[in-house]
Amino acid sequence: MTTQFAVRKVSKHFSKDGEDLVALREVDLDVEEGSFVVLLGRSGCGKSTLLNLLAGLTTATSGAITYQGEKITDVRTQVGYLTQQDTLMPWRDVQRNVEMPRELRGERREVRRAAAGQLIERVGLSGFEKSYPRELSGGMRRRASLARMLSGDPETLLLDEPFSALDAQLRTELQAELLRLWAGSGRTVVFVTHDIEEALLLADRVVVLGPLGRIVLDQEIDLPRPRDPDDMRVAPHFVALHRQLSAALKEGAL
Ligand SMILES: Nc1ncnc2c1ncn2[C@@H]1O[C@H](COP(=O)(O)OP(=O)(O)OP(=O)(O)O)[C@@H](O)[C@H]1O
Ligand SMILES: [Mg+2]
């Protein structure tokens, strides 16, 4: 198994009003190729900062991060990133937002249009192809962003709380869609959430982060797949893992 991301003693400082603010302190993390890793942590513990570093959007203050053995210096097209904030282009409709990664690659219009159409359907936005981001609800924008990321066919997916703005049913549907897309594909997923149940439904491995990105728990999730949310909730092993993650989140807050 090869290592997709290797994070070594990574710290990230920001300067705020002339003061030094530490967001991450000496974080070490390896993400294996093909794995589904969930980063679980409370608000402000540095999850988005860590994803920004993995995506190559920002650089570490100290320490080193590699992707497939190479130092990350810039954004890579093989790594798709669904950021926590909306980054849809307001002047493009849904169709043209979703086509964008393929357009940048120089793909022919008919080909990229067909691919985008399929993705729009998969995220449940058929009929909204011609709508602009401002005409969509928060959850719809989120789904359009997801489709746009998938449209680039990335080998690695970084997702920052992708489903938190969705109603429970849509959330379940898109979780299942993401798992279908990942299973057997060899793709690597790093997924951020604060939701323990979501973490247990999706992950091979859950990494619980405390303040400054300190790793409080690194737990393999050996629940059998496919995982049905209703069955899973009553399984003793699920209940035990839930308790363990919940305790780690509380411990991390200390
Ligand atoms: N650009 C920035 N400038 C200054 N401080 C920042 C910046 N980005 C993040 N921080 C700080 O770094 C810390 C970690 O922020 P981060 O966004 O990584 O947290 P998070 O775990 O993603 O939280 P949430 O769950 O609320 O999204 C916070 O204290 C935040 O204020
Ligand atoms: Mg965040």
Residue 184: pLDDT band (50, 70, 90) is confident
Angstrom distance (rounded) from CA 116 to CA 170: 20
CATH of segment(s) 3-78+155-253: 3.40.50.300
* Pocket flag, ligand 1, residue 3 (CB < 6 Å): no
Cα–Cα–Cα angle for 179, 180, 183, rounded to 5 degrees? 75
At 82 the three-state DSSP class reads strand
pLDDT in tens, 83-142: 999 899 999 999 999 999 999 999 999 999 999 999 999 999 999 999 999 999 999 999
Name the more confident of 165 and 129: 129
Residue 254: pLDDT band (50, 70, 90) is low
Structural domain boundaries of the chain? 3-78+155-253, 89-154
Q: What is the mean pLDDT of residues 185-200?
A: 96
CB within 8 Å of 169: residues ≥ 6 apart: none
CA of 191 to the centre of ligand 2 (A): 11
CA of 209 to the centre of ligand 1 (A): 13
Nearest CA to ligand 1 atom 7: 14
CB within 8 Å of 98: residues ≥ 6 apart: 116, 119, 120, 144, 147, 148, 151
pTM of this prediction?
Answer: 0.95
CA of 50 to the centre of ligand 2 (A): 9
